[in-house]
Chain A
Amino acid sequence: DAEITQSPRHKITETGRQVTLACHQTWNHNNMFWYRQDLGHGLRLIHYSYGVQDTNKGEVSDGYSVSRSNTEDLPLTLESAASSQTSVYFCASSRIRDRDIQYFGAGTRLSVL
């Protein structure tokens, strides 16, 4: 069955370290998204991509970067982790024609100490 997987599921890192969160989908969806979820803020968009080599900044993109070298993967990199980036991160994907119907991965819980 097609799916979207995130790894790792849990990560503890130190302030200042570079961290990469993986997202892999097998639906062949063109659109991929990264969100962070914090209490009281719902889901906030970090970066998104509408296809290979396409990346765009979301609402809270500072300190994060993404690259899209193939359809299946959109890794999220924290260049220099900060305590404010402690959060739960969700990756999502959607088809071109139903961009707003998004399918979410299980999430990565990141703690920056």
Chain B
Amino acid sequence: GQQVMQIPQYQHVQEGEDFTTYCNSSTTLSNIQWYKQRPGGHPVFLIQLVKSGEVKKQKRLTFQFGEAKKNSSLHITATQTTDVGTYFCAGMIYNQGGKLIFGQGTELSVKP
């Protein structure tokens, strides 16, 4: 069954507000990837985190990997309408045969 849980499922924000999505695994992850899927589009790779406690930034996006490598977060500062879409985390769990396990995604809508 699903071992990577992502919350919230939906988030509606006013443009300019911040947004955070959280990803939690029941087992230790070797790494975690974040993808963005625009409405009607396909998932697009954003970033990979590998090290315990790692923090990476891409402009207004901040990605964190937990110290225990069981959780991760994506924070967007001052959302824009271009941020609309579904954000997925995907973790590598070695006892799953080295396959990526995707979270259910968080759908972000931004009201101008």
Which residue numbers of A lie inside 8 Å of B, CB to CB? 35, 40-45, 48, 56, 58-59, 90, 92, 98-107
- Supposing A100-B92, A102-B45, A104-B43 touch, asked if A42 and B99 sit within 8 A by C-beta, the answer is no
B102 touches A105 (CB 8 A): no
A45 and B100 contact, CB distance less than 8 A: yes
Report chain A residues within 8 Å CB of B39. none
Which B residues are closer than 8 A to A by beta carbons?
2, 6, 9, 31, 33, 41-45, 48, 88, 90, 92, 97-100, 102-105
**5 nearest interchain CB pairs?**
A43-B102, A42-B104, A104-B42, A42-B102, A104-B43
Could you show 16 A-B contacts with beta carbons less than 8 Å apart? A35-B102, A40-B9, A42-B6, A42-B105, A45-B100, A59-B99, A90-B43, A98-B48, A100-B33, A100-B92, A101-B45, A102-B43, A102-B45, A103-B45, A104-B44, A107-B42
Could you say which of B2, B6, B48, B99 contacts A101, with CB atoms under 8 Å apart? B48
The A/B interface has a contact count, at CB < 8 Å, of 48
- Kindly report which residue of chain A lies nearest to residue B47, judged by CB atoms: A101
| Known contacts A58-B99, A101-B33; is-contact A41 B104 (Cβ 8 Å) | yes
B42 touches A105 (CB 8 A): yes
Report how far A102 CA is from B100 CA in the complex, Å: 10
B92 to chain A, nearest CB (A): 5
Chain A residues whose C-beta falls within 8 Å of the C-beta of B103 in the assembled complex: 42
CB pair A100–B31 under 8 Å, yes or no, is yes
CB-CB under 8 A from B90, the residues of chain A are 43, 100
**Closest chain B residue to A105, Cβ basis:** B42
Residue of B whose beta carbon sits closest to that of A58 = B99
Q: Inside 8 A of B98's CB, which chain A residues have their CB?
A: 99
- Interchain CA distance A92-B43 in the complex, whole Å: 9
- Bound Cα distance from A104 to B41, whole angstroms: 10
